[in-house]
Amino acid sequence: MNDHNKDSIKQSVKDVFFQPKVLVVDDEVRIQKACQRLLTEEGCDVEIAENGIIGLEKIDQTHFDIVLLDLMMPGMSGVDVLKKVKSRHPDTVVIVITGYATLEHSIETMKTGAFDFLSKPFSPQELRVVISKAIEFLRTLQDIATEKSRMRVMINTLNNGVLTTDNQKRVALANPAFLKMIGCKKNSVIGQHVSGIIKDERLLEMIDHAISQSEDTFAEITDEISFTPDSEEEKIIGVRCIPFRDRLNRNLGSVTVFHDITSLKRVDQLKSEFVSMVAHEIKSPLNSILMQLNVMLDGLAGELTEKQTEILSRSCDRIKSLTNLSSELLDLSKIESGLINQDREELNLVELIQGQVDLHAEKARQHSIELEMSAEETDIPMLGNRINIEEVVSNLISNAIRYSPDGGRIFVTARAKKDSLMISVQDTGLGIPQAELPNIFDRFFRVKNEKTRFINGTGLGLTIVKKIVEAHHGTIEVDSEEGKGTCFSIFFPKSEYKI
């Protein structure tokens, strides 16, 4: 017998956070003493019971992690003891000790709830092996219970509401924040059908949609729903619902997260009113000026000299820049308020990026810029908002075109890495000075030098790109060398919500 086998129980005991308590229930003194001596040496806390009645009395007084139980004893049989132990203490591991003549009975007891069995006579090593297995099983149960407890505490202390259901739409988890949001005063709703606690038809429809999605579809359903709990003001709740699946992609149920956006909506309302006022007071006059300038440029107000045409054209470009600035400010305010449209669906990144490359191809050709797209696969799935991700890719490509000299090259790449999805846009353009790189995502920041001062822009494009990427739980990196070009790399998490 080697040292590894001798230390098997000791090692298992070290791996758990408690000293295993073992009860040996057997009418043979020889078995009692042998088991007690060996298991005590291995680090277990061991007690003895001469029969089933005494054993049950001890179990009622003290919790035992493991019970070694002889089937054939005078008085109460081991089978009866087993049934009572499992009914009172279902987490206790029971190992049956039996003679060869009752092997079939021991198998039947395993169906009743026994963990394993030892056939008499058994060796010390056989006892070590079965006890080690039992301790490993207890450790697994402990890890599961600890993780469930940790998760329950974390979810119950969240300010956001959380509701999970099984695939029959029965409540599996509902934290206090959720119950308060919907005005539910029940102490426990676990096991109830969602229709018994939720009255909002739209929310029930979202949960039903999430659960009924086919295996080849994975979409996040989002909406804003108004609730009016008893004696309270109306609350506006942002709701996000997704299916919950196992590793075989089977629907196990749904997970729904609730975020109170009442205050944000009120602020957004004020912002919207302000922006609407600014749009009316500024954009309307700008558009009128732009129309008048276009009339003059078209020669309808008289013939223009070459110098006059140049000045008016430059004025038109400036006014268009101001119009774009107001639009981008509106987009940015929506993103920062958390109210940008976040309906998400499973996207094919390759198809989405190719669409943007095709869209900008003509503009690239006008400047003799070679615009290429490459991907290692034809289908790279991602869970995201189509309009937002298209805006990110479009912004980076248009920046690359603007800051690349005629005859340059732009490479757009999509790649699925081990734990993320990557989009990169690389150009052979002007590049960014190293000292300016930390500031390029700041709002209104633009690199200004002799080469860039004639390039129009608002200084908000990269700010918006970063905000959208972060809203999708992604990151963006930039690598640039002045005079050689720039590469923007975006990393998104893979669209896998599985256990």
The residue ranges of every structural domain in the chain are 3-152, 158-260, 264-336, 345-493
Q: Mean per-residue pLDDT for 89-103? A: 78
Q: Determine the 3-state secondary structure of 165 from DSSP.
A: strand
Residues pairing with 425 in the sheet: 412, 488
Dihedral class, residue 336 (left if φ above 0, else alpha if ψ from -120 to 50, else beta):
alpha
Q: 10 Å Cβ neighbour count for 367?
A: 14
Residue at token pair 């020889």: 30
pLDDT in tens, 281-315: 666 677 778 888 888 888 887 888 888 888 888 88
Give the whole-angstrom CA distance, residue 17 versus residue 138: 11
Give the tens place of pLDDT for each residue, 174-200. 999 998 888 888 778 999 999 999 988
Residue 449 to residues 407, 436, 458: CA-CA distances in angstroms? 21, 11, 16
Instruction: For residue 5, name the pLDDT band (cuts at 50, 70, 90).
Output: very low
CATH superfamily of 345-493: Histidine kinase-like ATPase, C-terminal domain (3.30.565.10)
Residue closest to 181 by CA, chosen among 220, 230, 221, 222: 230
pLDDT at res. 90: 87
The tens digit of pLDDT for each residue in 383-417 reads 888 888 998 999 999 989 988 888 999 999 999 98
Instruction: Identify the CATH homologous superfamily for domain 158-260.
Output: PAS domain (3.30.450.20)
- Nearest CA to 361 out of 377, 346, 372 is that of 372
The answer on pLDDT for 426 being more than 90 is yes
Q: Residue 436 has what pLDDT?
A: 85
pLDDT value at 330 more than 80: no
Highest mean pLDDT among 100-109, 155-164, 317-326, 328-337: 155-164
CA angle (278 as vertex; 276, 281 as ends), nearest 5: 110
| Least confident residue range of 16-20, 401-405, 439-443, 480-484 | 16-20
Q: Write down the pLDDT at residue 161.
A: 92
CB 194, CB 204: distance < 8 Å:
yes
Helix (H) or strand (E) holding 146: helix 124-156
Helix (H) or strand (E) holding 127: helix 124-156
pLDDT of residue 106: 63
Instruction: Give 131's strand partners.
Output: none
Residue 75 sits at φ, ψ, to 5 deg, of 80, -125
Closest by CA position to 40, among listed 61, 9, 18: 9
Closest by alpha carbon to 468, among 393, 398, 392, 414?
Answer: 392
Q: What is the DSSP letter of 20?
A: P
Closest CA to 70 of 92, 53, 52: 52
Q: How is residue 282 annotated by DSSP?
A: I
pTM for the whole thing?
Answer: 0.52
Burial class (CB in 10 A: 0-12, 13-18, 19+), 66: buried
Please name the residues in contact with 169: beta carbons below 8 A apart, sequence gap of 6 or more.
193, 194, 195, 207, 208, 211, 253, 254
pLDDT tens-digit readout, 43-52: 889 999 999 9
User: In the CATH scheme, what architecture does the domain 3-152 have?
Assistant: 3-Layer(aba) Sandwich (3.40)
**Cβ–Cβ under 8 Å, residues 471 and 332:** no
pLDDT band at 329 (very low <50, low <70, confident <90, very high): low
Rg (CA), the chain: 35
According to the model, what pLDDT value does residue 355 have? 93
* Nearest by Cα to 477 from 438, 428, 435, 447: 438
d(CA 439, CA 459): 11
